[in-house]
Amino acid sequence: MTRGVVAIAGALGLLAGCHPTEALPPPPLGAAASALLIHMVDGAPAFVVALDPAQPTLPTFARAQDSTLYLVSFGCGLDALDLAAGPVSLRATAPELRVLPVPSAVHVLPLRDTVGAWAEGELPQEVQDVLSRVEVPTDSVCRRIQATWVAKRRSVQLATVDRVRSRATVPLGNDAFLVGVTFHVDITATTTTGYDALRIQGDSAEQLPELNAWGPLLGGLARSDGQLWLATREQLLLGHPDVGFQVVTSTVIDPLPDGLILLGAPDGSELYMATETALLGGIFPNFPAVRTLYRLEGDHWVRVVRRELPDAQQDRLSVAWVGPGHVVAAGFSGDLRVLRLRDGQVTDEAFGGTRANKVENVTDRGLMVADNAGGIYLDGAAGWTAIREKGEATVAYMRAVGADGLAVFGGYPTLVVGQVLPEVGACPAVSLDIVNPRRLVPSGPTGIFVLSADEGNLPYAYLSLERPPQRECLR
């Protein structure tokens, strides 16, 4: 119900109309460098105006029954917030992250039958949502919250080795990792092959000869109880390098897979294995391959899905455990779909993108699929939703960055990282100067362990998350 036209003292213009104009007390801008004036009517914003305290242009408006004015002050000027004085545009929905810094002060003026005075107050949830909906340029949000990743580079020199390939890479805790490698040694006209198991921590690399008795380590998975699943061609092992391993199953994987991924429940209650075997020796640029998904039942592997792909290079193998009896995989369908195993049923489903090349069950975010155009799609209650249309062509790893979106690592031959801000936009990708990245594995709550490829050694790096320094008023 409209009760008349009100003018805040200092207003430069009045709305034409037959209602009398009522002057309101001026907002207490005080030491604010900038402010937003928000008029809430029935829980929704009637208007939002950005104010420059040095030259405030205050509105005149029709007052509704039982509405409220909120003055939200900031310690930074409008230029630092990338806002212009005057009416502010709002997004249709509020994103998860804060697009504006924390206010320096909040004042409230209820507009009832009688107008009182401004008083310090708090922001109700509906006004907090309005602040999150303010249209701020993506670049501005990126400058304020984009994370910085610092790389500490190391390298393991493997004597008399010509070509190295990392296979299993499993975290051991305390920034230590178990790495299984295979290698080639070229001697005159002949080539010999070998394998090794290493414990890498900081600057040191320790050989684990007791593990070599099982053959080359092809894949591994850490459990929440500290034990490791390790797969060789002939055994599935469970244990830890410090206490030893036991054989769970001796099923021989034939022929020897070119790629192997272990995945499953963190508590070890469920385990799957995905393998890839190149046909014709993988000698052709576009080689055919067989990809197979197994489930561990008791002491043996049971085949769930087997697919032969005519051109395996078009579809990278990537698999994620989502929940009990629920697995999603890229690289099995040979088209613009992903494979989903749920409750014993196998389906191929479109996710909205091009060819999938990475599937990740991102902690605190959910199941995500990246395609070969760098698009990222979230599997939610309402189906697949695009959170980025394009980006790095080869996505290697995705992880949440607190409440500030999603860090996406990819690119080849040099690793880059970009940050996706859901419902806001994507920050520019930044090069990490790490060449030929092969494997990225979480290292503690915020770190990442990166293994690279080289001819005669094993380069690696630790990535640590840092927050950019920023002015106090922008935090």
pLDDT of residue 12: 30
How would you class 401 by CB atoms within 10 Å of its CB: exposed for 0-12, middle for 13-18, buried for 19 or more? buried
Q: What is the pLDDT of residues 330-363, one digit of tens each?
A: 999 878 899 999 999 999 999 999 889 899 999 8
pLDDT at 9 over 50: no
Cross-strand partners of 51: 35
pLDDT at 170 over 90: yes
Residues 6+ apart with CB under 8 A from 254: none
pLDDT at 270 over 80: yes
pLDDT of residue 405: 81
pLDDT at 307 over 90: yes
* Cα–Cα distance for residue pair 398/389, rounded to 1 Å: 15
pLDDT of residue 129: 93
* Cα–Cα distance for residue pair 168/180, rounded to 1 Å: 5
Global pTM reads: 0.82
pLDDT at 6 over 60: no
pLDDT of residue 203: 86
Q: HSE on the CB side for 407, CA within 13 Å?
A: 27
DSSP track, 173-217: ETTEEEEEEEEEEEETTEEEEEEEEEEEETTEEEE-HHHHTT---
Average confidence (pLDDT) over 66-72: 90
Average confidence (pLDDT) over 151-165: 74
Would the CA dihedral through 215, 220, 224, 226 be positive or negative? positive
pLDDT of residue 391: 81
Q: What angle do CA 178, 453, 320 make, to 5 degrees?
A: 60
pLDDT of residue 185: 66
pLDDT at 17 over 70: no
- Count of beta carbons in the 10 Å neighbourhood of residue 114: 6
pLDDT of residue 13: 31
pLDDT at 11 over 60: no
* Cα–Cα distance for residue pair 31/74, rounded to 1 Å: 9
Average confidence (pLDDT) over 195-211: 89
In the block, residue with structure tokens 């002060």: 105
Range of lowest pLDDT (154-168, 306-320, 440-454): 154-168
* Cα–Cα distance for residue pair 258/275, rounded to 1 Å: 8
pLDDT of residue 184: 67
| Ramachandran assignment for 444, one of left (phi > 0), alpha (psi -120 to 50 degrees), beta (any other) | left
Name the pLDDT band for 471 (thresholds 50, 70, 90): low
Residues 269/256, Cβ–Cβ less than 8 Å: no
* Cα–Cα distance for residue pair 338/456, rounded to 1 Å: 36
pLDDT at 14 over 50: no
Please name the helix (run of DSSP H) or strand (run of DSSP E) that holds residue 34, with its range, or none: strand 34-41
φ/ψ of residue 141, rounded to 5:
-65, -40
In the block, residue with structure tokens 């390939």: 165
pLDDT of residue 1: 43
Average confidence (pLDDT) over 449-470: 81
pLDDT of residue 190: 52
How would you class 190 by CB atoms within 10 Å of its CB: exposed for 0-12, middle for 13-18, buried for 19 or more? exposed
- Domains of the chain, first to last: 2-136 (no CATH), 159-410 (2.130.10.10)
Q: Between these two residues, 456 and 127, which has the higher pLDDT value?
A: 127
* Cα–Cα distance for residue pair 185/435, rounded to 1 Å: 23
* Cα–Cα distance for residue pair 49/30, rounded to 1 Å: 17
Cross-strand partners of 68: 40, 110
Range of lowest pLDDT (42-56, 86-100, 271-285): 271-285
